[in-house]
């Protein structure tokens, strides 16, 4: 079949399917794109010529469309994905942050940036990076460290092995991430006689791998010998659709469950054994249990520093780790016993071998009491009655209480992910969607759009601070264009409140985190902008200008009214609510290692350094 390389690519992508547990569907839901001279007549022409093959979605920002693709595939448990195409130059490199976020979070997205001429006849072309030492360099080389797979298609026939390798990575549960195929603009339009079988329906089967029997028996023996076991549920629990099995396992054995950011929702907040988030942003219940646990069963977690509280969470000197993970690298972390395999299949295998074993009654009762105490603390923080501005915890509480069980909360950066991890009462496995592997400011609205496209039957609540909103709000327009309604709660604290709090805790007095004029109105030395007048910025007006239906609220009562009214609005809603930037949710036995200057003229920094050194003493090697 004689086609251009770009036409062949689109036809191939449209023929790819996945199957898991007997359920089969198309892998690619469509292609986001912004066109320029580097892809308009190649991939753009191919999409326009046969729109029934691959649905085209318009975007406003290249980074944002990658975030939308990531939000979509996360919601679909990595079993479906989007492609993203851009022109060369800045259009391509705008996607690098999105690529990094997808790869860090193990989410499959296919990136198709245009590239310079393979022929080099018009060399150098517009937007080409020239090097005195290499003739084959391109700005797209910057994708290499943030991609799970990278290739540059310099001849049309190279497409065949490249896209097959790309699909292997995109459908892998262990190695998923961004896949980048750099497409020189002259090669995109070149024709080649592709074999017909290249375009035949191809099904990629997602297997449920299990560890070997000997390793399973060793793991079961460790659990049987334990007195205070703890299971930590990571994102792998949700991706493998193991939540129901995990709930039954915890209920029958009495092993309590703590959750990572990606794993929150693995248990409903009121399920027996549910301790909530663990680590630096964890609950008091989970962190108290983690500190004394003698066996930690990590399921689908990569043990980030937030999960381990920078290696201070697990203080029992005899603690042992059992790691269930499809990634061999993750299953070997912390010196753990590696159960390399699918979360659902492996939990089933472990439970079958436990033969009715359960934790001691005293331990179960202790965990239940901690859960009860924590539930009261959440209720307290939801109802502080803080004035004159509400506390952020009250805003989260109002959204949590007025949203339905299947609705989805989306967030990514600032102080809200930590507060949500502690306080959000999850009721559905897909109801909590936080990008915290890369914590990308600007992900929220674009990621929320991806969630909505993945499951239009759910209401999506995007929680975004003014800092993230200012970085990337334009996908409000895309949500309106696609009739994909979002309810965006814009929490305005006049600056970077999260880093402001961190700065103050490290003796830095919130340096560089306020959105204010300089105190004297000049370009003087007051670089922190702490004491100047407020800026004449109206974010609610901005959202209205982008096409959103806007509510301005001043307190929690008005917020509740707006949330109820928003349910009746058919297009994207933005609810603007100012909050007190200094009223923060406490840290509950959680610590995060952020280095502090060893020497300083500041007394506050010196004190922070002393506190930091006390934290360092709690760190442990887990070998």
Return the CATH number at 219. 3.40.50.1220
What kind and span of H or E run contains 365? helix 361-382
Kindly state whether residues 45 and 160 are assigned to the same domain: yes
Per 3-state DSSP, the chain is made up of helix, strand and coil in percentages (nearest 5) of 40, 20, 45
Q: Is residue 620 part of a domain?
A: no
Kindly state whether residues 414 and 543 are assigned to the same domain: yes
pTM score, whole prediction: 0.96
DSSP single-letter state for residue 125: P
Q: Is residue 595 part of a domain?
A: no
> Residue 623, class by beta-carbon neighbours within 10 Å (0-12 exposed, 13-18 middle, 19+ buried)?
exposed
Kindly state whether residues 396 and 419 are assigned to the same domain: yes
Q: Is residue 229 part of a domain?
A: yes
The confidence score (pLDDT) of residue 524 equals: 42
Q: Is residue 504 part of a domain?
A: no
* Domain interval for residue 361: 213-373
**CATH for 201:** 3.40.50.970
The confidence score (pLDDT) of residue 521 equals: 55
Q: Which residues, 6 or more positions from 586, have their beta carbon under 8 angstroms from its beta carbon? A: none
Kindly state whether residues 345 and 361 are assigned to the same domain: yes
CA atoms within 13 A on the CB side of 192: 20
Kindly state whether residues 264 and 322 are assigned to the same domain: yes
Kindly state whether residues 430 and 546 are assigned to the same domain: yes
Kindly state whether residues 418 and 307 are assigned to the same domain: no
The residue out of 352, 373, 394 marking a domain boundary is: 373
The confidence score (pLDDT) of residue 512 equals: 85
CA angle 563, 564, 565 (to 5 degrees): 95
Using 70 as the pLDDT threshold, list the residues of the chain that sit under it.
520-530
Rounded CA-CA distance 367/110 in Å is 44
The confidence score (pLDDT) of residue 527 equals: 54
Q: Is residue 320 part of a domain?
A: yes
DSSP single-letter state for residue 129: P
The confidence score (pLDDT) of residue 497 equals: 87
Kindly state whether residues 14 and 135 are assigned to the same domain: yes
CB-based contact 442:472 (threshold 8 Å)? yes
Summarised one tens digit per residue, pLDDT across range 439-449 is 999 999 999 99
Kindly state whether residues 234 and 285 are assigned to the same domain: yes
Closest Cα to residue 430, out of 450, 445, 401, 402? 450
The residue out of 205, 232, 249 marking a domain boundary is: 205
**What DSSP string runs through 168-203?**
HHHT-TTT-SEEEEEEEHHHHT-EEE--GGGGS-EE
Direct distance between the N- and C-terminal alpha carbons of the chain, in angstroms, rounded to an integer: 56
Rounded CA-CA distance 260/454 in Å is 23
Q: Is residue 601 part of a domain?
A: no
The confidence score (pLDDT) of residue 445 equals: 98
Kindly state whether residues 405 and 554 are assigned to the same domain: yes
Rounded CA-CA distance 84/178 in Å is 11
Kindly state whether residues 7 and 49 are assigned to the same domain: yes
The residue out of 171, 205, 239 marking a domain boundary is: 205
Q: Is residue 502 part of a domain?
A: no
DSSP single-letter state for residue 134: -
How many domains does the chain contain in total?
3
Rounded CA-CA distance 159/538 in Å is 49
Kindly state whether residues 348 and 469 are assigned to the same domain: no
Q: Is residue 519 part of a domain?
A: no
């Amino acid at each position: 079949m004689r086609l251009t390389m770009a036409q062949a690519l689109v036809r191939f992508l449209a023929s790819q399917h996945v199957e898991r547990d007997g359920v089969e569907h198309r892998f690619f839901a469509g292609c986001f794109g912004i066109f320029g001279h580097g892809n308009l007549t190649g991939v753009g022409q191919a999409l326009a010529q046969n729109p029934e093959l691959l649905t085209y979605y318009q975007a406003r920002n290249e980074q944002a469309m990658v975030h939308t693709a990531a939000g979509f595939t996360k919601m679909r448990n990595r079993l479906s994905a989007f492609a993203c195409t851009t022109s060369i130059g800045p259009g391509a490199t705008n996607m690098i942050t999105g690529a990094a976020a997808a790869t860090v979070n193990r989410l499959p997205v296919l990136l198709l940036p245009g590239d310079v001429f393979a022929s080099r006849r018009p060399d150098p072309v517009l937007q080409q990076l020239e090097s005195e030492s290499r003739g084959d360099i391109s700005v797209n080389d910057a994708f290499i460290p943030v991609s799970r797979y990278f290739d540059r298609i310099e001849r049309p026939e190279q497409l065949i092995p490249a896209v097959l390798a790309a699909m292997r990575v995109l459908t892998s549960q262990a190695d998923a991430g961004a896949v980048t195929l750099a497409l020189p603009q002259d090669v995109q339009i070149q024709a080649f006689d592709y074999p017909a079988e290249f375009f035949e329906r191809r099904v990629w089967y997602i297997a449920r791998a299990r560890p070997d029997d000997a390793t399973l028996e060793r793991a079961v023996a460790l659990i049987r010998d334990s007195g205070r076991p703890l299971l930590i549920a990571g994102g792998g629990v949700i991706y493998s659709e193991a939540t129901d099995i995990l709930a039954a396992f915890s209920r029958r054995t009495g092993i309590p469950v703590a959750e990572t950011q990606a794993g929150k929702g693995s248990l409903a907040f009121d399920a027996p054994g549910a301790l909530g988030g663990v680590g630096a942003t964890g609950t008091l219940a989970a962190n108290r249990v983690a500190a004394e646990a003698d066996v930690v069963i990590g399921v689908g977690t990569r043990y980030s520093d937030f999960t381990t509280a920078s290696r201070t969470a697990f203080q029992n000197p005899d603690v042992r780790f059992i790691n269930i993970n499809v990634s061999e690298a993750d299953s070997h972390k912390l010196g753990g016993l590696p159960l390399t395999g699918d979360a659902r299949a492996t939990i089933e295998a472990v439970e079958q071998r436990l033969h009715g074993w359960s934790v001691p009654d005293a331990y179960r009762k202790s965990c239940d009491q901690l859960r009860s105490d924590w539930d009261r603390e959440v209720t307290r923080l939801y109802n502080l009655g803080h004035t004159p501005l509400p506390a952020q915890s009250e805003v989260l509480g109002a959204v949590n209480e007025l949203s339905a069980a299947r609705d989805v909360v989306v967030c990514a950066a600032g102080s809200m992910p930590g507060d949500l991890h502690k306080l959000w009462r999850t009721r559905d496995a897909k109801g909590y969607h936080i990008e915290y592997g890369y914590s990308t400011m600007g992900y929220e609205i674009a990621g929320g759009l991806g969630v909505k496209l993945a499951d239009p039957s759910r209401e999506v609540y995007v929680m975004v601070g003014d800092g993230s909103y200012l970085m990337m709000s334009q996908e409000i327009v895309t949500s309106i264009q696609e009739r994909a309604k979002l309810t965006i709660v814009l929490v305005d604290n006049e600056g970077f409140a999260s880093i402001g709090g961190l700065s103050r805790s490290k003796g830095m007095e919130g340096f560089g985190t306020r959105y204010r004029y300089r105190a004297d109105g000049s370009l003087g030395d007051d670089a922190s902008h702490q004491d100047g007048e407020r800026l004449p910025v109206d974010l609610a007006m901005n959202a209205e200008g982008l096409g959103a239906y806007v509510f301005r609220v001043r307190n929690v009562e008005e917020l509740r009214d707006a949330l109820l009214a928003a349910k009746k609005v058919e297009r994207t809603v933005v609810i603007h609510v100012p909050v007190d930037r200094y009223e923060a949710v406490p840290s509950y036995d959680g610590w995060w290692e952020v280095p502090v200057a060893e020497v300083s003229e500041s007394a506050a920094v010196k004190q922070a350094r002393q506190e930091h050194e006390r934290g360092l003493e709690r760190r442990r090697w887990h070998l």
